[in-house]
Amino acid sequence: MTEPLRVVAVSGSLHNPSKTDVLIDEVLRQLNEVLDISSHVIRITDIGPKFAGVLNRKELPREVEDELRLVETADLLVVASPVYRASFTGLFKHFFDFVDQYALVDTPVLLGATGGSERHSLIVEHQLRPLFGFFQALTLPVGVYAHESDFDGYRIDSPLLKERIKTSIRRGLPLITSSVQEKRRIREALETGESVDSGVAPAEPQRTVRLFT
């Protein structure tokens, strides 16, 4: 890959300082160790008050619209939210409700969450993964959950959590690199007017397959 990978992170936290922000920072730090990236972090603490009462994208202030466009054109998304009442924060969802339904198709997404309790770790699988499944995004196979005892104040104090982040990135790398290369190849072909070779062999002539007899 020639250009740096454009990574956009969204933190659903409503507080500053924030453990979710700390988790995101560590994910970005580790991503930077293995990939050439440029990163941008969107914090709901910063922009939440600017869109909380807005119901229609056309009425959003420019600043929020610009952040949405960065999300919609990212090569890789890193999304993380604190658990609030067993789900992501309401404003995290409200932000993604403005995202175009098809803008994240095939975009790799690393899922993360922080919670007060270990018992809510399945938020990643039961709340975040279906949301990004709706967008037809490529959610990376391993998500990251951090809870109270993984932190010493606002510092990660858990080698296991750091290892989990490393695993999430390592397992996600094939998806990340193949999706980015493919999207760039198609974009360049379209820009130069070349036909887009799908790389897939032509299909065999269709035969009728009876699934039920």
Ligand X SMILES: Cc1cc2nc3c(=O)[nH]c(=O)nc-3n(C[C@H](O)[C@H](O)[C@H](O)COP(=O)(O)O)c2cc1C
| Interface contacts to ligand X, rule CB under 6 A | 13, 15, 18-20, 82-86, 114-117, 120
* Cα–Cα distance measured from residue 193 to residue 195, given in angstroms and rounded to the nearest whole number: 7
By beta-carbon proximity to ligand X, the closer residue of 85 and 210 is: 85
State the minimum distance, in angstroms, from the CB of residue 14 to ligand X. Answer: 6
Q: Please list the residues that pair with 84 across neighbouring strands.
A: 87
By beta-carbon proximity to ligand X, the closer residue of 82 and 108 is: 82
Q: What's the chain's Rg over C-alpha atoms? A: 19
State the minimum distance, in angstroms, from the CB of residue 64 to ligand X. Answer: 20
By beta-carbon proximity to ligand X, the closer residue of 87 and 177 is: 87
3-state class (DSSP) for residue 40:
strand
Q: Please list the residues that pair with 41 across neighbouring strands.
A: 9
Going 142 to 144 to 149 to 151, the CA torsion angle's sign is positive
State the minimum distance, in angstroms, from the CB of residue 177 to ligand X. Answer: 30
State the minimum distance, in angstroms, from the CB of residue 172 to ligand X. Answer: 22
By beta-carbon proximity to ligand X, the closer residue of 131 and 175 is: 131
By beta-carbon proximity to ligand X, the closer residue of 108 and 115 is: 115
State the minimum distance, in angstroms, from the CB of residue 11 to ligand X. Answer: 7
User: Closest Cα to residue 180, out of 94, 75, 105?
Assistant: 75
Reply yes or no: is the peptide bond before residue 202 cis, omega within 30 of 0.
no
Q: Containing H/E element for 169?
A: helix 159-191
What is the β-pairing status of strands 155-156 and 151-152? antiparallel
